[in-house]
Amino acid sequence: MKKIFYLSTIAILIIFTGCSGNAGISAINSTDSASSGSLSTLLNQNVAMGSVFPNYGSGKRGNQIVIISDTHMGDQRSIDNGYGWLAKNGEKLAEFLNILTSNTSVKELVIAGDLFDEWVVPMKFDTFNGYGSESKFLDSICEANPDVINGIKNVIESGIKVTYVPGNHDMLVNQEDIERIFPGMYQARDASGCGSYSPDGRQEIVIEHGHRYDFYNAPDMYSNRVPYSPVDYTDNPDAIIPPGFFVSKIAASQGYKSLIFPGELINTSSLSGPSLYWFSWCVILGGLHVTENLDEKIILTGIDGYTDVYAINDLLPQYSSNNISEPLLYREIENNWKIRQEQNHVNKPITVLEGILTGSISVWCSSQAITQYFNIDPQKRVVVFGHTHNAVIYTCENSQSNKCLYANSGTWVDNGNPTCTFALINPEEQEDGSTREYIGVYRYVDPGNLVKMYEETITIN
- Going from N- to C-terminal start, the domains of the chain cover 2-34+215-334, 38-117+139-208+340-460
What are the tens digits of pLDDT across the range 435-444? 999 999 999 9
43 has pLDDT over 50: yes
pLDDT at site 254: 58
Residues 200 and 332 sit within 8 Å (Cβ to Cβ): no
Which helix (H) or strand (E) segment holds residue 157: the answer is: helix 146-157
pLDDT at site 250: 94
Residues 208 and 195 sit within 8 Å (Cβ to Cβ): yes
Percent share of the chain, pLDDT over 70? 88
Residues 6+ apart with CB under 8 A from 326: 273, 274, 317, 332
Rounded CA-CA distance 382/385 in Å is: 10
92 has pLDDT over 90: yes
**Quick one: pLDDT band at residue 200, thresholds 50, 70, 90?**
confident
Q: What is the pTM of this model?
A: 0.90
**Quick one: pLDDT band at residue 152, thresholds 50, 70, 90?**
very high
Rg of the chain over all Cα atoms, to the nearest angstrom: 22
What are the tens digits of pLDDT across the range 103-127? 899 999 999 999 999 999 999 999 9
**Quick one: pLDDT band at residue 6, thresholds 50, 70, 90?**
very low
**Quick one: pLDDT band at residue 268, thresholds 50, 70, 90?**
very low
22 has pLDDT over 70: no
| Choice among 173-182, 336-345, 354-363 with the minimum mean pLDDT | 354-363
pLDDT at site 36: 63
pLDDT at site 323: 85
pLDDT at site 20: 38
| Choice among 271-275, 316-320, 373-377, 413-417 with the minimum mean pLDDT | 271-275
What is the crossing angle of helices 89-101 and 146-157, to 10°?
10
Topology of domain 38-117+139-208+340-460 in CATH is Purple Acid Phosphatase; chain A, domain 2 (3.60.21)
What phi and psi, each to the nearest 5 degrees, are found at residue 321?
Answer: 50, 50
Rounded CA-CA distance 10/13 in Å is: 5
Q: What is the mean pLDDT of residues 216-240?
A: 95
Q: What is the mean pLDDT of residues 27-44?
A: 66
Rounded CA-CA distance 43/54 in Å is: 21
Give the start-end residues of each E strand in 42-127.
45-48, 64-68, 106-112
369 has pLDDT over 90: yes
Rounded CA-CA distance 43/69 in Å is: 21
Q: What is the mean pLDDT of residues 154-162?
A: 97
What are the tens digits of pLDDT across the range 285-297? 887 777 888 999 9
User: Taking the mean position of all CA atoms in its chain, how far away is CA 349?
Assistant: 18
**Quick one: pLDDT band at residue 433, thresholds 50, 70, 90?**
confident
**Quick one: pLDDT band at residue 273, thresholds 50, 70, 90?**
low
Q: Measure Cα distances from 346 to 218, 219, 338, 372 in Å.
A: 10, 12, 10, 7
Q: Is the pLDDT higher at 274 or at 249?
A: 249
pLDDT at site 32: 45
Q: What is the mean pLDDT of residues 172-192?
A: 97
Q: Measure Cα distances from 34 to 268, 340, 363, 371, 400 in Å.
A: 24, 22, 9, 9, 19
Please list the helix, strand and coil fractions of the chain in percent, rounded to the nearest 5, in that order.
Answer: 30, 20, 50
Strand 403-408 and strand 382-385: pairing? parallel
How many H-runs (helices) and E-runs (strands) does the chain carry? 14, 16
Residues 63 and 107 sit within 8 Å (Cβ to Cβ): yes
Rounded CA-CA distance 247/120 in Å is: 9
Rounded CA-CA distance 229/239 in Å is: 14
What are the tens digits of pLDDT across the range 370-422? 999 999 999 999 999 999 999 999 999 998 999 999 999 999 999 999 999 99
Q: What is the mean pLDDT of residues 138-161?
A: 97
Q: Measure Cα distances from 7 to 73, 179, 282, 348 in Å.
A: 25, 38, 11, 24
**CA dihedral of 166, 172, 174, 177, whole degrees rounded to 10:** -100
Percent share of the chain, pLDDT over 90? 76
DSSP 33: G
Summary mean pLDDT of the chain:
88
62 has pLDDT over 50: yes
DSSP 3-state of 139: helix
**Quick one: pLDDT band at residue 192, thresholds 50, 70, 90?**
very high
pLDDT at site 81: 94
Q: What is the mean pLDDT of residues 257-275?
A: 45
pLDDT at site 431: 87
